[in-house]
């Protein structure tokens, strides 16, 4: 994925750059659906890859595409999701969790 951040301070992240992000999606439910699942993994993959895979994310969303905002957005899009970890690089990881 590629993006640039709109920040109130000087940062190299304000320039176009890319990541090989690792996204971990956590879903839960008190019951399983008729197929014995909380959510089909292909549904999760289609949502995440549809947004991120080989994309300029700034053209896909209407918010500042920080790791934190992307984690929240993914969590809101995936059925039964309560937590998303978005790892931009080895040392840069953000987690969003619904209350």
Q: Tell me what pLDDT residue 45 has.
A: 96
Q: Which two tokens stand for residue 66?
A: 């920080």
Question: How far, in Å, CA of 18 to CA of 34, rounded?
Answer: 39
Asked if pLDDT for residue 99 goes beyond 90, the answer is: no
Answer CATH for 2-97 from 3.40.50.300, 3.40.1410.10, 3.30.479.10, 3.20.20.70: 3.30.479.10
Q: What is the pLDDT of residues 76-98, one digit of tens each?
A: 999 999 999 999 999 999 999 99
Q: What is the pLDDT of residues 16-68, one digit of tens each?
A: 999 999 999 999 999 999 999 999 999 999 999 998 999 999 999 999 999 99
For 25, list phi and psi in degrees, rounded to 5: -110, 130
Could you state, in order of their start, the residue ranges of all structural domains in the chain?
2-97
Check: CB of residue 69 under 8 Å from CB of residue 63. yes
Check: CB of residue 5 under 8 Å from CB of residue 11. yes
Q: Tell me what pLDDT residue 51 has.
A: 87
Q: Give the DSSP letter of residue 58.
A: G
- The residues with which 23 forms a beta bridge, in sequence order, are 86
Q: Tell me what pLDDT residue 39 has.
A: 96
């Amino acid at each position: 994925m590629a993006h640039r951040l709109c920040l109130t301070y000087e940062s190299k992240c304000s320039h176009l750059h890319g990541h090989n992000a690792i996204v971990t999606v956590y879903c839960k439910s008190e019951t399983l659906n008729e197929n014995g699942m909380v959510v089909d993994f292909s549904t999760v993959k289609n949502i995440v890859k549809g947004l991120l895979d080989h994309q300029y994310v700034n053209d896909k969303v209407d918010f500042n595409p920080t790791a934190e905002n992307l984690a929240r957005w993914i969590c809101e899009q995936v059925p039964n999701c309560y937590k998303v970890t978005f790892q931009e690089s080895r040392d840069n990881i953000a987690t969003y969790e619904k209350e």
